Amino acid sequence: MKKTSIAAVVCAGLMAVAAAYAGEASPAAIPARAANWSTFDSLIADVKKTMMADPNAALAKARSADAFARVQPASPRRSEALATSLWLEGEALTRINRIDEARTVLDRASALAANNGRLTRLDGDLALSHARLADATGDVAGALRNYHRAYDIFSRLGIPRYQSIALQGLGSIYDKAHDFNREIEYYRKASQVYSADPALELSAANNIGFGLQQLGRYDDAIAHFEHALKIAGTLNSPFLQANILTNVAVAYAKAHRFAAAERAANRALKLINGQKGSGLEPFVWGVKAEIEFERGALSAAVADIDRAFRGIELKKTVSSFRDMHEIAYKIYSAAANYPLALAHLEAFKRLDDEGLALTASANLALLAAQFDFANQQLEIEHLKSEQLKRDIRLHESEAATQRAIFSAALLAGILIILWFGWRHMTLRRHRNELTRTLRERNLEIERRIEVEAQLRVAMETAEQANRAKSHFLANMSHELRTPLNAIIGFSNLMVSGKLSTPKTQEYASDIHASGRKLLVILNDILDMARIDAGDVVLSDDEFCLADLVERTTAAAELEFPQHGKTIRIDGANRTLRVRADEARLKQVIGHLLSNALKFTAPDGWIDIAIERVADGADIVVRDNGIGIPREKLALVLEPFGQMENVYARMHGGIGLGLPIVKSLAELHGGRFMLVSEPGKGTTARVHLPLSRVVGAPGALARAS
C-alpha cells in the first residue's frame, strides 16, 4: 500500500519542519537583537511554534510581525525583518492552500532577502518554501529546481540539518516519478549528511524501506522499516509506530511471511485503538484482509475488508486506496459478491489512471530538468575550451613580443649586431622549440577535448539507453496489467451469470477492446524485434494506393472513438498504383492515423492525401493536434525513446508506432518525414520511391 508509507513520510517530514521552527531562529533573518526589536523577535518565535498546529493563527501573527517591522525606521535590520515575516506568512498561506497569495508573498520575501547582497540562511529557508509551494501545485520542475537551490545554499553555509531536509524533498520528487532507485539514493544521502535528528532519520529510513519494497527487495525493506520503528519508539508517538507497523505488515505480506505480517498488523491496531480520526484503521484492516485471503480464509478476509471500507464512499476514494481496491476486488470476486467486486474494480481503474497521469507529468518535468542540466554541462566544457585557446594565444603573443625586442636590438652597432646575431640564433632555436611545444600542446588539448566529448556522448548514450530500458519496462508493466485486469475482472463477472444483459454487452465490449489493445502491443514489439534482426521480408503486391487508404481509414474509424474529430480523404491521384507490401503499408497508414487521433482534440481534423512528386509518391497525414517540440522530433522516432515513452504514458501505447513507420518506409526504399509545431499540429509524410510507382520510368517489374 504505497500511500500508507507516504503518510508516514509526510508525518515525519512535518515533524522535521516543526522541530526546525520550534528549535531555533534563523541567525541570518534575526541578527543580534536591539532593545526595540524584542517585540518582533517574540512574535516570530510565536509564529514558528504555532505554524504546525494552527496555520491560520500563525498567519495572523506573521502579519502582526510584518506590521510591526513596517513602522520601524529604514535600516538593514528592518529589511531582514520584513523578509522574515513575509517568509512565514507565505508558509502559513501554503499550508491553508491559499496558493496564489502564498506565491506572491514568497516572491516579495525573496526580493527583499536578495537586496542585502549576502547569502544567508533565510535564502535557503525561502528556497525550501518555494519548493514546497511548487510541489503542492504540481510544478515538479519548480520543486526540483528549488530543492537543489536550497541544498546548494545550506551546503555553502555549512548547515547539514537543512541539507538533509532539501535532499529528502528531492527524494519525494523522484518517488512521484516512480524512479525508486534515485529516490533511495537521495534519502540515503540525506541520512549520511545529518543523522542527529530522530524525526529526519525516521523519515529517511521509512522512505528507503518503501523504495526497496517497490523494487521487490522485501527483506531489505523490512530491515529499514524496523529501523524506522525503533526510532518512532524513542519519539513516544503511537501514531507514528502504528503507521510504520502498517508498512512492515505490507512488506511481510508481499514476502508471503503471513504470520509475521499478522503480528505487525495486530500491533498497529492495538496502538491506534481509541485514537479516533487517525485515518490508519482502513489500511490496517486492508492488510489483514489480504493476509487472510492469501491464507485461504475467505470469510475472515471478507469481514476484514468490509471493516476496512466501512463508511467510505467508493467513488470518492483517493490514491492511497488504489491497492486496497484491487485486494477488495479479488476478495469479493472469490466470495461471489459481484456488485461489490465490480464497484471496487471500477474504483481501482479510476485511481490507476489518475496515478498514471501524475507519474507521466513528473517524468516529463524530470526529463526537462535533466536536459537543462546537460546543456549547462556542455556550456561549462565550452568555456573550458575557450580558456585553453586564450592561453595559447597568450603564449603566441609573448613570442611575438620577444621577436619585436630582438628586431629593435639589431639597430645597434656591428659588434652588437654580431653578438645579437648569436643571441638571435639561440632565441630562434628556443622559439622554434616553444612553437613546436605549443603546437603539440594545442593538438593534445584538441585531442583531449575530442576524447572528452566522445566519452560524454558515450555516457549520455548509455544513460539514455538505461533510462529507456527502465521507462520501457515500467510502461510495459502498466500497459499489459491494465487491459489484463479489465479482461480478467469483467470476464469473471460475466462468467458468474448474475449480470444484467445490458451490462454483459458493455463488459464484453471492454474485454474485446482490452484484448485488441494487448494484441496491438505484442504485434508492435514483435515487428520491432523482426525489423532490428533484419527478418522482415516484403511481399511484392500491386494495388491501388487510394483503395488501401480508404480501407485503412474505415477500419480506424471503427476501432478508435472519434469524439467529434473529422477525417478527410483528398480525392487526388485516385488511380495511382504502386508495387509494395500491401499489408505493411496498411500497417504504416494505421499507425499514422492512430497517432493523429490520439493527439487531436475532439473538434479537430485529420487530412489524408496521396501526392505525386517528381521522385515517386507520398502518403501524407496532417492534423491540427497538440504537436511535438522541434527538439524532440528525432527522439520520438527512436525505438523506446524517452520522449515517446512520456507521450505514450499520457495517451496509451508503448512508443513504437513511429519507429515502425520509419523502418518500414526505409525497407521499401523510401523515407519518413515528420514536421510538427506545438499547438498547431503535425504533418507525417511517407515517401515511396519512383521505382515503386507502377508505370513510372524505372519502376520495379513483377517477379515471375
Q: Which ranges of 196-257 does DSSP label H, i.e. alpha helix?
A: 198-214, 218-234, 238-254
Of 368-382, 409-423, 508-522, the range with the highest mean pLDDT is 508-522
Residue 647: is its pLDDT beyond 70? no
Domain annotation covers residue 584: yes
Residue 194: is its pLDDT beyond 60? yes
Domain annotation covers residue 559: yes
Domain annotation covers residue 665: yes
Q: What is the mean pLDDT of residues 12-22?
A: 39
pLDDT (0 to 100) of residue 488: 75
Of 426, 398, 421, residue with least CA distance to 410 = 421
CA angle 186, 4, 14 (to 5 degrees): 60
Q: How confident is the model at residue 429 (pLDDT cuts 50, 70, 90)?
A: confident
Residue 337: is its pLDDT beyond 80? yes
pLDDT (0 to 100) of residue 10: 35
For residue 258, the surrounding DSSP H or E stretch is helix 258-272
Is 565 or 424 the better-scoring residue by pLDDT? 565
Q: What is the pLDDT of residues 540-575, one digit of tens each?
A: 999 999 999 999 998 888 776 666 788 999 989 999
pLDDT (0 to 100) of residue 652: 55
Domain annotation covers residue 134: no
Q: What is the pLDDT of residues 93-122, one digit of tens each?
A: 988 888 889 899 999 988 888 887 788 888
pLDDT more than 90, % of the chain: 22
Burial class of residue 390 in the structure, from the number of CB atoms within 10 Å of its CB (0-12 exposed, 13-18 middle, 19+ buried): exposed
Domain annotation covers residue 260: no
DSSP state of 618: E
Other CB atoms within a 10 A radius of the CB of residue 404 amount to 9
Is 463 or 85 the better-scoring residue by pLDDT? 85
Domain annotation covers residue 202: no
pLDDT (0 to 100) of residue 642: 41
Q: What is the pLDDT of residues 116-142, one digit of tens each?
A: 778 888 899 999 989 888 887 778 778
Is 73 or 274 the better-scoring residue by pLDDT? 73
> Grid coordinates representing 91?
508558509
Is the separation of the CB atoms in 290 and 253 below 8 Å?
yes
Q: At 407, phi and psi to the nearest 5? A: -65, -40
Q: What is the mean pLDDT of residues 302-322?
A: 87
The pTM (predicted TM-score) of the whole model is 0.52
CA distance 274 to 310: 17
pLDDT (0 to 100) of residue 51: 82
Q: How confident is the model at residue 9 (pLDDT cuts 50, 70, 90)?
A: very low
Structural domain that includes position 573: 541-692
Which range (46-55, 369-378, 421-430) has the least confidence?
369-378
> Grid coordinates representing 189?
544521502
Is the separation of the CB atoms in 627 and 589 below 8 Å?
no
Whole-number CA gyration radius for the chain? 34
Provide long-range contacts, Cβ within 8 A and 24+ apart, for 340-344: 341/489, 341/492, 341/493, 342/489, 342/493, 343/314, 344/314
| Domain count across the chain | 1
> Grid coordinates representing 229?
520503528
- Please provide the average confidence, as pLDDT, over all residues in the chain: 79
CA distance 137 to 245: 31
Q: Which residue has the cell 507516504?
A: 6
E strands present in 23-117: none
CA distance 65 to 86: 9
Domain annotation covers residue 209: no
Of 337, 309, 338, 339, residue with least CA distance to 325 = 309
CA distance 228 to 231: 5
Is 528 or 155 the better-scoring residue by pLDDT? 155
Of 598, 634, 186, residue with least CA distance to 366 = 186
Q: How confident is the model at residue 20 (pLDDT cuts 50, 70, 90)?
A: very low
End-to-end Cα spacing for the chain: 64
Other CB atoms within a 10 A radius of the CB of residue 313 amount to 8
Q: How confident is the model at residue 348 (pLDDT cuts 50, 70, 90)?
A: confident
Domain annotation covers residue 223: no
Is 584 or 348 the better-scoring residue by pLDDT? 584
DSSP-assigned states of every residue in 325-357: HHHHHHHHHHTT-HHHHHHHHHHHHHHHHHHHH
> Grid coordinates representing 468?
529507456
List CB contacts of 564: < 8 A, sequence separation 6 or more. Answer: 602, 603
DSSP state of 630: G
Q: How confident is the model at residue 468 (pLDDT cuts 50, 70, 90)?
A: low
CA angle 692, 696, 699 (to 5 degrees): 45
Q: Give the strand pairing for 681-689 and 616-623.
A: antiparallel
Q: What is the pLDDT of residues 583-593, one digit of tens each?
A: 999 999 999 99
Is the separation of the CB atoms in 641 and 662 below 8 Å?
no
The CATH number linked to 566 is 3.30.565.10
Provide long-range contacts, Cβ within 8 A and 24+ apart, for 404-411: none
